[in-house]
Structure 1
Amino acid sequence: MVDVNELLEEAIKEIDNLQENEIFLVRDLFKGYVWNRIPLKDRLLLGTLFLNQINKTGGNIQAIEKTSSNQQRYEKICK
């Protein structure tokens, strides 16, 4: 069983590996096979939790536009 809070922590840690001004989706923070094993309902919840975490902490990640498939895009900015 997948724990969404653990996945959120993994995603937050993976941000350190991104370069400045890099644009990404939450799914980009996971290896493809790991992302594909996460049930859809948990992926949706993870996306919501990630956005809330980014908005709450206000760090060096900024939410930008959504894709045509309604996925939220983010950018790592320098601060």
Structure 2
Amino acid sequence: MITAAPTPAARPQTDPALDPIRDKVLAGDRLSLDDGTTLYATRDLWSVIELADLVRRRMHGDKAYYNINRHLNYS
């Protein structure tokens, strides 16, 4: 039986520089190059993960896909 992983409790955002980025993500707006630089430079990794997961769920739902590649060596 396959079950979904439990959603972790919301963590407080610790980097105030992520506030405008969070607002853009929630509004569905595109991020700028400066926003990307801020995401790359922040030490608040969990907030970045939560923002990325929010975008992923909005685009693809709560489904995960995988691919199995098998390469048979006949020698």
Shorter-normalised TM-score: what interval?
Answer: 0.3 to 0.5
TM-score, normalization by structure 2: 0.38
TM-score, normalization by structure 1: 0.37
Larger radius of gyration: 2
**Structure 1 or 2: larger strand share?**
1
